[in-house]
Amino acid sequence: MNEDKKELINQLSNLEQEHRDLDDIIHQLQEQKTINLLQMQRFKKRKLMLKDKIENLKDKIEPDIIA
């Protein structure tokens, strides 16, 4: 495995962890009855942005080649 691929896998792992952490934070905030809607929107937007980055990295690591 080359160094570039290792770096991409490392980045992917970090982004997936941050995505899970944000998911946990969002669930905790929803369970509390004092929800800051602006803060919640920011977390959700960040989570969607991370999801897009994760998908892009997965495509770089293993491209989906259609024969």
Average pLDDT of the segment spanning 49-55: 96
Give this prediction's pTM.
Answer: 0.81
Q: Locate 13 and state its tokens.
A: 């792992």
Q: pLDDT (tens digit, 9 = 90+) per residue, 12-37?
A: 999 999 999 999 998 988 888 777 88
Grouping H, G, I as helix, E, B as strand and the rest as coil, residue 53 is helix
| Spatial separation of the C-alpha atoms in residues 59 and 2, rounded to whole Å | 16
Angle between helices 37-61 and 3-31 (to 10 degrees): 160
Grouping H, G, I as helix, E, B as strand and the rest as coil, residue 40 is helix
